[in-house]
Amino acid sequence: MKWRPLVFPGCVVLVCLWTSCGRSSVSSAVASSYDSDPVHAVPVVEEGLKVRPDVLRVSFAFRQESESLEQAVPKLKAAVERYVRAAAEASKVEVAVKMKDVRLESGSKRMAGNGNDAMAHGVLEVALPEAQDFWGRTALVATLVKVGSQESSAAEKANTGLRASFGFPVAQVREPEARRDELVKRWVDRARGFISQAQSERAPLQLVGCEPPGAVKQEPVSVDEVVLSLAMSCRLDSVTK
């Protein structure tokens, strides 16, 4: 006699075994009895591998208007280099830049004006020292925000056609894929534990139809914590005797 297969959607198995398919959090704020500033409720902790981040990433964009694109490109390059130097001097830690994209638009294609427009997008990576505590890392975030604000204000005051914008620093793991083996092992251990509890002597279970796992994802929690997760999908089926 063959038992009817027990089919669990990959999402359900993932909820029980490794990480939730949707993030659940408590977003309500509780009014402080001392002042008007809100006190955030403690969020529901997302399951996953909790690790300390080792890098702060800041997205940035520089836009340069110029009479010609040939003039705009070196000006953009100089602006990015100036920003990187300012961040390195202010933070006093290792910094690196990764350029993502450059867009060039000639005056004939623009909706207004006859000038040329060039825009560069990139990410500034700032190392988070292992020995640095929560408040030290928070101070580093504040420093980077200040540097971005100063660069943006300086570009506007110079009135040379340069504009700069910066995202908020985000704490991440530089190489999340390095933890893949650990994530897979933890998932398998939880799967085996679940099977041992769910099966019976007359209806043993096994994992079948497993899909190749995707990329390791990371969810920043604070400057001191990041949750790594790996989406894995399998079905539970009865063992045919």
Domain definitions of the chain by residue range: 10-49+176-238, 54-172
Give the per-residue pLDDT at 9.
40
Tell me which CATH code domain 54-172 carries. 3.30.70
Residue 6 CB coordination number (10 Å) = 13
Give the per-residue pLDDT at 239.
77
User: Which range scores top for mean pLDDT: 37-46, 75-84, 112-121, 199-208?
Assistant: 75-84
pLDDT (average), residues 114-141: 94
- How would you classify residue 56: left for phi > 0, otherwise alpha for psi between -120 and 50, otherwise beta? beta
Q: Per the structure block, which two tokens stand in for 86?
A: 């300012």
| Average pLDDT score over the chain | 82
pLDDT (average), residues 92-98: 96
Residue 25 has pLDDT above 50, yes or no: no
Q: What CA–CA distance (Å, rounded) separates 185 from 49?
A: 11
Residue 67 CB coordination number (10 Å) = 12
Q: What CA–CA distance (Å, rounded) separates 140 from 122?
A: 20
Give the per-residue pLDDT at 173.
97
Burial class (CB in 10 A: 0-12, 13-18, 19+), 225: middle
Residue 7 has pLDDT above 60, yes or no: no
pLDDT (average), residues 8-37: 40
Give the per-residue pLDDT at 130.
93
8 Å CB contact between 18 and 229 = yes
Residue 230 CB coordination number (10 Å) = 23
Q: Per the structure block, which two tokens stand in for 232?
A: 């894995």
Q: Report the run of H or E that residue 196 belongs to, with start and end.
A: helix 180-198
Q: What CA–CA distance (Å, rounded) separates 56 from 16?
A: 32
Q: What CA–CA distance (Å, rounded) separates 224 from 178?
A: 19
Give the per-residue pLDDT at 235.
85
pLDDT (average), residues 117-127: 96
What letter represents residue 44's amino acid?
V
Q: What CA–CA distance (Å, rounded) separates 136 from 70?
A: 42
Strand spans (E) along 18-69? 29-31, 38-40, 49-51, 55-66
User: What are residue 208's DSSP bridge partners?
Assistant: 235
